[in-house]
A and B are shown apart, each in its own frame.
Chain A
Amino acid sequence: MVWITKLLLLPVMFFLGAALPTSGYAEKQFKSVTGPCNLHFPRDHGPHQDFRTEWWYYTGHLESEEGHGFGFQLTFFRSRVTPPATVRYPPESPSAWRTDQLYLAHAALTDIPGQDFFHAEQMARAALGMAGASQEGDSTSIFLKHWYARIEPHIHKLGAETDDFSVQLTLKPAKSPVPHGNSGYSLKGRKKESASCYYSMTRLQATGSVFLQNEEYPVKGLAWMDHEFSSAPLEADLVGWDWFSLQFNDNTELMIYLLRQDDGEYSPASSGTFVEPAGRVQHLSREMIDVEILEVWESPRSAAIYPARWRIRIKPLDLELIVRPTLADQEMLTPESTRVTYWEGSVSANGSIEGNALHGAGYVELTGYAKKFDAPM
């Protein structure tokens, strides 16, 4: 079922903001991102279906009243499979199943004290109420089967139920949306069209419940939301991606993405964003970011060797952090469906900024360690 692997690899690559779902069509046949994104909200919370790929990504850390800590991830991916101009036999009377939009979703839960990790995924076409994204007034709704994310003017609602766990959360934005790069235009390569429109909701106050192993936990915590869309494939010399989203106790946040080249170096297109307590945004270029891998972890299943502890220095901010996973094994293995292997999990961060102690939590995604992403497919 290699073809299924290939298809399901797409959203993961897309999630990395580089590789895109492809049906063998050139990216120029889709609408591309070539300049400022001029993001406006709530309009741009909604889907951008002319672009090849798009995702809404939620991560966060939750804690029950008894102090039981969880990390969670819920991501919805949209993928357009065919540019309209290439359709050879357009149907006179289209079927209700007719669509060129596919949706995929991943949900994961890290039980920090239990040192356990659960994940699941879904996929369906955007038809007949199986999946989709739409906007009605100021509200955006994204759903795939019974998983959903609803973005209302002052609130986000999330829900996912898997065989192992379920999460139901209400998220309240504490800060405005943060556009990355140049007003949301986030360059991911050398060419100007190797880019995406990318913004984050870096601080969302979360309340809700987690259901795990026949036990329901009322929880509170902090969440992060990313929304990104593009039509560009990953450039040929890139092998993977390390991505960090960190929320600190001083009400600041940091996002870093590091594009890894096949020569082992980070691509000059790598960059980051620092969000101050008041919401002011500082763009971080490649030169400002120094990441050192202090430890590695070898997966007993895939034999992939992932970084497992980092020292991050952001010189202009006088920021130094040690980032470590809350659980070593948060590797996503999907042998029954995507067969894509990558690491995505909850981390903790400790360090200092301008000499002051700094603590935080976040999520890290590491791809291309088990197998190089081969794009375009």
Chain B
Amino acid sequence: MRSLTLFLRLWTWFSYRQLYAHRWRALAVLLGIGLGAAVFTSVRLAVNASLHSFTQSMDTISGRADWSVVKPGGRVPETLISDLLKNPSVKTASPLLKTYVQAGEQAAREFLLIGLDPILDRALRPWQMDADALSASTWLDLIGQPGTLLLTHKLMASLRLESGGDIKLKYFGRSSKFRILGVLNSQGLALADAGYVAITDIASMQEFTGLHGVVDRIDILLKSTATVRDIERIRAALPAGVILSRPSEAREAGRMMIDAYRLNLSVLSFVSLFVGMFLVYSLVSLNATSRRHELAILRSLGASSKELFWLFITEGAFLGIVGWLLAIPISSFMVHKLLHSVSATITHLFVRVNVDRLKLDPWEVLLSFCVTLLISVLAAYQPAREAVRVPPKEAFLMHDRSLPGHKPLIFPAFVGLFLITIVLPLPKLAGVSHVPFSGYVATFFLFAGFSLLSPWFLAFMGTFLPPLLRYVGGQPAYLGSRYMRDAGSRIAISVGALITAMALYVALVIMVHSFRNTVETWVNQSIRGDVFLQTQTGSVNEYRDPLPGKVVEQLESMQDRIDLLPYRRVYLYEGNIRYLFEAIDFSIFSKYGRLLFLEGDSPAIMQQLAKGEGVIVSEVMANQLNLKIGEYFHAKVGGADFNMPILGIYRDYRTQGGVLHYSLKHYQKLTGDLTWTGTRVFLRNDQPPPRPSREAIMQQLYRIVRHTPGVVVTIGSDLRREILRIFDETFAITTVLLLIALFVAALGITTTLTVLVLERTRELNTLLAIGASFRQIRAMIFWEAVLMVTAGQILGAGCGFILSRLLIYVINRQSFGWTFLYSVDWGSLSASLPLIFTTALLAAIPASRMAFRQSPASLLRER
């Protein structure tokens, strides 16, 4: 205990006072670390909030159910309930019908309405009425009184309603008045969808929605004695098209997608922290090298080398801990900004989530603390080892030997090259559960390889460029570039930080550009159509609501003026992976658009598809389920068994999983299901004059929709624009994270140059004393910065180009299942790289000002 106290006292005298004396420098490092830690923590907390909201919602709605009876793409006949309840292996069975409804006239006030049987459901899903509203009459009225419901406190407050009052609900063009019987306690089912939920009796739900005779699903709780054979018997007794599925499948499918997204954002946000690590290294390294004289004195006074080692490790830990503490207020600000955009992105990309509050997970806090502390301590490790090597005899030297000696450069360069080389085969290893481990390892090797290469590269530049630069920038340029050759590994470390940030910038610019270009091509070729008609609740209700027959009839009567491309969508599960089965009319599709095939001969495939001789799968589905051309797709869809060869793999960027396409005509023949989920409409221009005007046709389409509530019409160009808008919104977070990483890197440049200037103050002033002008010395520092930034940019760009291919062909494929057409955004890069260059140079200004704060005389005075 005594020795610890002594050590802490020594640390305060030796290290803390030094940090305090140069507090602005220390603050810059702390800001960098704090920003890195804040970004890392905020991103994870924001994604976790979405994940928590999603899983909680799914869990509370699934309840204790062992199995669910569902009908992919449709709804389950309610008459099955009786047989299921009478089945001796079934403990209870309970129907569920849920949908998002609109409250009153406020379109934005959408919430989840769950229709259930309060009696059958009680063993499956807990929910309770609020104590002040507790009365048996109230809940019995849910069954006995049509058009009654229970709301959560949160919903009541947000809609400004009171118990006993009425609420007007809208669904699919239907409108109905409900009486509020009471308030649900904030537990169990009331926690679904972040608490924006209401419960009604299944009868009231059907009467309101018009979904008589069907329910979304029937959840089953089995007796403990039920065997696999009993489950098979239940399965066998179900009618065609109705299947038994695990309620966890949907949850797991969604959870896996959000998990993959969280990992990607975590890695991206970790880059800021990683770049911050370079800052800690720079500062601790400066303190270790510039204070060799004091270190030697300490050694000569009896301090052990171990104590010196721990002084610097503690300094690193101190920076990490204080940086992490600084991250707390930054995170609390940042996380609220990120919360909405992250949940919106997850909703756009994967599954609907409703997040309105954060859950502060102690494990996340601990993780953030440990990661920040670990990287800070790791960053201090090398300088601490150097400090240990200071011999006590240096205490008798008149001057600091502050400049470290030359270090071998070839070996690290070879290691760097080796790491870069093995990046090539690494990505061929498959990802594990949507986690591209090999991609991340390759990325790490790439950063490490280029960083290790940078000292040699700087030495190379410092050897061959000075004569050339002398012609351009005179003697200051020559001296500056020479210094680069001799500056040692500290410059390389800062250049490493710049390489990391630059590489990430270049890679993400290329990836986002490639992605956007591919999506744009896909949208323009595969999502063609003048008008799209579908039901308002289509995707929310997993395409269970088909287009009303009346609309289909009216559309078919217009076929002399329009071409219809109807489609039928059904969500299916293969294990925990959800994908979309879409049957379309390929002959019409081929007339107006085309698919972006990755594999397969497109015209031949289209012919086979039109004949119903096989299916084509999206790249996402092929990657997720490891499907290849020639293999067979097996599934039960709409009561029919499908066993079709896979004819092709095509690009598709629908964000909620893979897609499989089959011929609509043959789907209808096989299943007898003639309903349409929706249709695309193409206005024909091949009729003989007088042709009806586009406006006249559009007016007619609008008339059809106006008289059919619940059907929405979307203009094709609007839809395509909306897809691209969502895309841009999705990458907004990436851009923010990237800018923070660049900012931290710029801080790194400032710190490094400051360090370089400060540790050479004596030399710089000697130059001044022997006749150099301030201008010349500043020019020299400027050229040093130019070379550093140039080296960082060249290596960073090289690293970025490789990284961009890793991101597109490995990390994206393993995380999300898709790849893109590689294309480099030369325009953006050539515009932004000079900008980054200039910014980095601007970051050098404070350093050049530091050089002459003391008079040359005082600095050159002999001690």
Contacts and interface: CB of A to CB of B under 8 A. Distances in A.
Contacts of B212: 93, 95-96
Given A91-B207, A124-B120, A24 B135 contact: yes
B177 A89 contact: yes
B140 to A, nearest CB: 4
A7 B139 contact: yes
Given A1-B128, A7-B140, A129-B82, A91 B146 contact: yes
Nearest to A103: B119
B767 to A, nearest CB: 85
Max chain B C-beta neighbours (<10 A), residue from A88, A91, A95: A95
A156 interface: no
Contact of B146 (A6, A89, A102): A89
Interface string B285-308: 000000000000000000000000
Most buried by A among B128, B143, B176: B143
A97 B119 CA distance: 12
Contacts of A7: 136, 139-140
A130 B136 contact: no
A23 B122 contact: no
Contact of B147 (A1, A10, A91): A91
Given A3-B129, A89-B147, A95-B212, A24 B207 contact: no
A21 B122 CA distance: 19
A97 B141 CA distance: 14
Interface string B47-89: 0000000000000000000000000000000110110011010
A377 B128 CA distance: 18
Given A89-B147, A124-B85, A23 B136 contact: yes
A21 B119 CA distance: 15
Nearest to B122: A4
B88 A146 contact: yes
Q: Which residue of A2, A21, A25, A98 has the most chain B CB atoms within 10 A of its CB atom?
A: A98
A102 B122 CA distance: 15
Main secondary structure of the interface of A (DSSP, over half): loop
B146 A3 contact: no
Interface string B208-243: 000011000000000101000000000000000000
B598 interface: no
B776 interface: no
B143 A102 contact: yes
Contacts of B137: 22-25, 377
Contacts of B140: 7, 21-23, 81-82
B226 to A, nearest CB: 11
B179 interface: yes
Contacts of A377: 135-137
A78 to B, nearest CB: 14
Interface stretch (B33-41, B198-206, B356-364, B855-863): B198-206
Contacts of B146: 87-91, 94, 98
Report which residue of B135, B140, B143, B146 has the largest number of chain A beta carbons within 10 angstroms of its beta carbon.
B140
B846 interface: no
Contacts of A1: 122, 126, 128
A365 interface: no
Contacts of B176: 89
A81 B144 contact: yes
Contacts of A161: 88
B48 to A, nearest CB: 31
B129 A93 contact: no
A155 to B, nearest CB: 23
A123 B119 contact: yes
Given A94-B203, A95-B206, A95-B207, A23 B141 contact: yes
Contacts of B179: 88-89
B144 A100 contact: yes
B590 to A, nearest CB: 44
B825 interface: no
Contacts of A337: 122
A102 B139 CA distance: 13
Contacts of B213: 96
Given A89-B147, A89-B177, A125-B117, A98 B207 contact: yes
14 contacts: A2-B134, A22-B140, A24-B135, A25-B137, A81-B144, A88-B147, A89-B179, A95-B207, A96-B213, A98-B203, A125-B119, A129-B82, A130-B82, A163-B225
* The 3 A-B residue pairs with the shortest CB-CB distance in the complex, in nearest-first order: A24-B137, A82-B144, A129-B82
Given A7-B136, A88-B145, 9 more contacts: A23-B136, A23-B144, A86-B145, A91-B204, A96-B78, A96-B206, A124-B120, A125-B119, A336-B123
Interface of B: 78-79, 81-82, 85-86, 88, 117, 119-120, 122-123, 126, 128-129, 134-141, 143-147, 176-177, 179, 201-207, 212-213, 223, 225
Interface of A: 1-4, 6-7, 10, 21-25, 81-82, 86-100, 102, 123-125, 127-130, 145-146, 161, 163, 336-337, 377
